[in-house]
C-alpha cells in the first residue's frame, strides 16, 4: 500500500498527495509546534513542509516504509528556518507559558490535530533547556516514536549521533528534575504537568 502511494506521489498524483496530508498532517503539526513553541509558526512550518514535499516528490524511492520520517525530516528543517537559536525558542516558550497554556483563537480550527495541547505546551518549558539538536532527537524519538534509524534518516545524520544526542538530552532533563524541589513536582495544574512530563521525557526510550 505504501509503495503504491509512493509511486503515485512521484507521478504527481494530487489525490495521492492529499492522502499523504490526511495521514500525517496531525503528526507534522504537533512536531512543528514542539520545535517552535508557537502555534502560528507551527502552521507555517506545516504548510512549508508539504510544499517542499511536493516540490521534492521525485526524490521519493519506489520502495520503502512509511513516508512519515521523510515528512518529519522536512518539518525539522523548516522549523530550523523559523527558530534559529535557543534564545528565540526560549522567548517563545516564555510567551506561551505567560499565556497560561491557552491557544489563540486562530488555532481553534487546527486544535483537533493536537494530541493533548495542554500536555504538549507544558513540556515546552522542559525542551527549552535543551540545545536545538537535542530537542530535535527528543521530539522525533520520544514523542513521534521513531526508532534510531528512522530518526537518523529524518535528520540526515548517523545513527550514533542520534544516540549520543538523545543521551545528552536525557541527562539534562534528569538534572532538571533532580534540581526541582520534590514538593513542587506534583502540584495541581500546568506546573505539575511540566514536572511530570520532564520526568517522562528523561526516562522513556524510543518506542
Q: For 118-162, write each residue's pLDDT tens digit.
A: 566 667 778 888 999 999 999 999 989 999 999 999 999 999 999
List all residues 6 or more positions away from 202 whose beta carbon is below 8 Å from its beta carbon.
170, 173, 174, 176, 177
> CA neighbours within 13 Å on the CB side: how many for 111?
10
Query: Is 113 in contact with 25 (CB distance < 8 Å)?
Result: yes
pLDDT higher than 70, residue 187: no
Distance CA 142, CA 118 (A): 17
Amino acid 200: pLDDT: 60
pLDDT higher than 90, residue 206: no
25: Cα separation from own chain's centroid: 12
Among 4-18, 43-57, 99-113, 139-153, the minimum mean pLDDT is found in 99-113
Amino acid at each position: 500500500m505504501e509503495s503504491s502511494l509512493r509511486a503515485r506521489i512521484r507521478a504527481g498524483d494530487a489525490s495521492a498527495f492529499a492522502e499523504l496530508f490526511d495521514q500525517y498532517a496531525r503528526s507534522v503539526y504537533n512536531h512543528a509546534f514542539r520545535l517552535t513553541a508557537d502555534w502560528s509558526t507551527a502552521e507555517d512550518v506545516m504548510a512549508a513542509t508539504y510544499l517542499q514535499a511536493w516540490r521534492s516528490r521525485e526524490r521519493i524511492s519506489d520502495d520503502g516504509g512509511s513516508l512519515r520520517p521523510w515528512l518529519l525530516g522536512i518539518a525539522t528543517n523548516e522549523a530550523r528556518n523559523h527558530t534559529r537559536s535557543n534564545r528565540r525558542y526560549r522567548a517563545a516558550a516564555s510567551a506561551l507559558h505567560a499565556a497560561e497554556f491557552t491557544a489563540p483563537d486562530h488555532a481553534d480550527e487546527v486544535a483537533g490535530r493536537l494530541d493533548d495541547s495542554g500536555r504538549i505546551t507544558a513540556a515546552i518549558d522542559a525542551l527549552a533547556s535543551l540545545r536545538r539538536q537535542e530537542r530535535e532527537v527528543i521530539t522525533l524519538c520520544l514523542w513521534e516514536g521513531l526508532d534510531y534509524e528512522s530518526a537518523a534518516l529524518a535528520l540526515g545524520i548517523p545513527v550514533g549521533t542520534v544516540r549520543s544526542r538523545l543521551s545528552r538530552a536525557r541527562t539534562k532533563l534528569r538534572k532538571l528534575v533532580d534540581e526541582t524541589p520534590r514538593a513542587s513536582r506534583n502540584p495541581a495544574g500546568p506546573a505539575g504537568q511540566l514536572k511530570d512530563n520532564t520526568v517522562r521525557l528523561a526516562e522513556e526510550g524510543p518506542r
